[in-house]
Structure 1
Amino acid sequence: MSFSLDHVQLVVPPGGIEQAARFYGEVVGLERIERPATLGGVGAWFRAGPQELHVSEHDGFVAAVKAHPAFKLSAADLEALGARVKAVGAEVRWDYRLPRARRFYSFDPAGNRLEFLTRD
């Protein structure tokens, strides 16, 4: 059997999708892709390499403070992203505990935990 990860779903509170879309598109730099209208509801989809990030509004929203997606990028891109995230006032917490990796944690505007890393 062969399989891979297709997408990760994150939720934001009602009314939070445009702020999330700006963060993931303009700050993180993900490409926004079309979300099928047949799905209904409110959401935004993004391409993250061969995988996708799906963000939608949810009435019972609770921020994911431990569970999180981890985005892998080059060392140069990681540094630049850390600067962009910090420039918009979001927390950038560098973590050096993972061997052969450089990473930081942050939170999207809704409070969902995110990891960004590069590996040796």
Structure 2
Amino acid sequence: MGLVQLDHIQLAMPKGGEELGRRFYCELLGLAEVEKPDNLRARGGCWFEKDAIKVHLGVEVDFRPARKAHPAFLVEGLEALVTRLAQAGVTAKRDEPLAGYDRVYVDDPFGNRIELMELDK
């Protein structure tokens, strides 16, 4: 009995932010959009997946970005990803070193903090 695995992470966004979410999570991070179930579509938002990674963006009426709480994604090719993000106007911020990882923080288009981590080579 107990936790088995993480199914998905949900982040908040303001109403009408779906296109910005698609650009960031699909075009820049490489996730694919998946259809929300019919009974949840009216709420707005969008869902993205790639393999075991699932990110749900949900509309929050009194939206405030998550500035401290954040998902951390393992990536391959961190520097190339940072370059692609920079070309799209997304700034990566380095933080204190963490043994075994090269990592940066970025903000999604809504100001939610996202950590991108690559295992040290």
- Establish whether TM, by shorter chain, passes 0.5: yes
| 1:8 maps to 2:9 | yes
Instruction: Indicate the structure with greater strand content.
Output: 1
2:19 aligned with 1:31, yes or no?
no
Structure 2 gaps of 5+ residues are none
Q: What is the CA–CA distance in structure 2 between the aligned matches of 1:50 and 1:21, rounded to whole Å? A: 18
Identify which of 55, 58, 67 aligns with 2:57: 55
Question: Displacement of 1:48 after TM fit?
Answer: 3.8
Find the aligned partners of 2:67 and 2:39 in 1 and give their Cα distance: 30
Q: Could you tell me how far 1:85 is from its partner in structure 2?
A: 1.1
- Structure-2 separation of matches of 1:48 and 1:66: 24
- Report deviation, 1:101: 0.4
Q: Which residue of 2 aligns with 1:89?
A: 89
Q: How well do the aligned residues superpose, as a CA RMSD in angstroms? A: 1.3
Which segments of structure 1 move beyond 3 Å, counting only runs of 4 or more? none
Conserved 8 A contact 2:17-2:45: no
Distance 2:53 2:29 in 1: 15
Distance 2:71 2:50 in 1: 11
Q: 2:70 aligns to what SS in structure 1?
A: coil
Q: Name the structure 2 match of 1:113.
A: 113
**Alignment size in residue pairs:** 118
**Superposition deviation, residue 97 in structure 1:** 1.2
Whether the 8 Å contact between 1:96 and 1:102 is mirrored in structure 2 is no
Cα distance in 2 for residues equivalent to 1:51 and 1:24: 11
Using the aligned pairs only, state the percent identity.
41
SS at 1:65's partner residue?
coil
Q: Return the offset for 1:102.
A: 0.4
Question: TM-score, normalised to structure 2's length?
Answer: 0.90
Q: Which moved more, 1:107-116 or 1:84-93?
A: 84-93
Given that 1:44 and 1:55 are in contact with CA atoms closer than 8 Å, whether structure 2 keeps it comes out as yes
Q: Give the whole-Å Cα distance in 2 for the aligned partners of 1:49 and 1:94.
A: 27
